[in-house]
Amino acid sequence: LLYRIYTAKPSEVRKICGIILDTSSITAGMLLAGEPGAMAFGVYLFVIVGNGGRYGYKLMRLAALFAFVGFSLVVLTVPYWREQASLSIGLLLTLIIIPVYYDLHLRRLVDVQKRLADYSIKDALTNIFNRRYFDQQLQLSFDRARRFGDEHFTLVMLDLDHFKQINDTFGHDVGDKVLVEAAQRLQAVVRSNDVFARYGGEEFVILLARTSLAEARTLAERLRLCISEAPFVYGEISIDVTVSLG
């Protein structure tokens, strides 16, 4: 516990001390009361564990541990609680169930927040970055270049050739499949620290950090080959796709 307090952030120390104070004072009250009226302390004991807004979800398990140990001590030492075995067991189970519920709820909440964050920066069809995110990163790159001077970057823009003809000939469903596969092929070539985004329609753009023009040309050639070297096949449909880059 001392190590936990020592390594905690300043904002968490007060919360940890609050958990200790609440639990110890309630346990002491129940030990001193030892009467049916002490049930109020038992109710409050697990209510504070569920008070995630006060302690924060990250400290829920610590609060639950203190409450569980404190109430277990009460059950073992106070005759009233030993006699009320069913009530004591029910309260102990509650002390376990509440933090588990909050933990599962938090995991779901974090997952939803992550998906919402992805929706705001990812293209729904290709699952690569969208234009909004790209524009933000481009502005940051400009800002860094102005500030540091030697922070250069390069842009590669590419367009699938005659994409309208693909849609008109094979339908928009096949056109969407071509866009998805093209994004996957390009993603396999693009470096992990580059920003690869769908700029609009059949247009893609790549922001290359700390990349010279010669290095960008080399990458652009690899991108061109990854699209044109093999046809896009969907059942009996085979489509030769090429790209224009600049």
The strand pairing partners of 160, in sequence order, are: 243
First-to-final CA distance of the chain:
60
Q: Among residues 12, 181, 202, 236, which one is catalytic?
A: 202
Q: In what order do the strands lie in the sheet with 243-245?
A: 195-200, 203-209, 153-160, 243-245
Measured in degrees and rounded to the nearest 5, phi and psi for residue 84 equal: -90, 65
Partner residues linked to 244 by β-bridges = 159
CA dist 63 → 1, 31, 192, 237 (Å): 12, 19, 41, 61
Q: What is the sign of the dihedral through the CA atoms of 109, 115, 117 and 120?
A: negative
Report yes or no: 195 and 152 within 8 Å, Cβ to Cβ: no
As a whole number of angstroms, the distance between CA 214 and CA 131 comes to 25
Q: Is 202 a catalytic residue?
A: yes
Give the Cα separation of 134 and 129 in Å (integer): 7
The answer to whether 178 and 163 have CB atoms below 8 angstroms apart is yes
Rounded Cα distance between 63 and 121, Å, is 37
User: Catalytic residue positions?
Assistant: 202
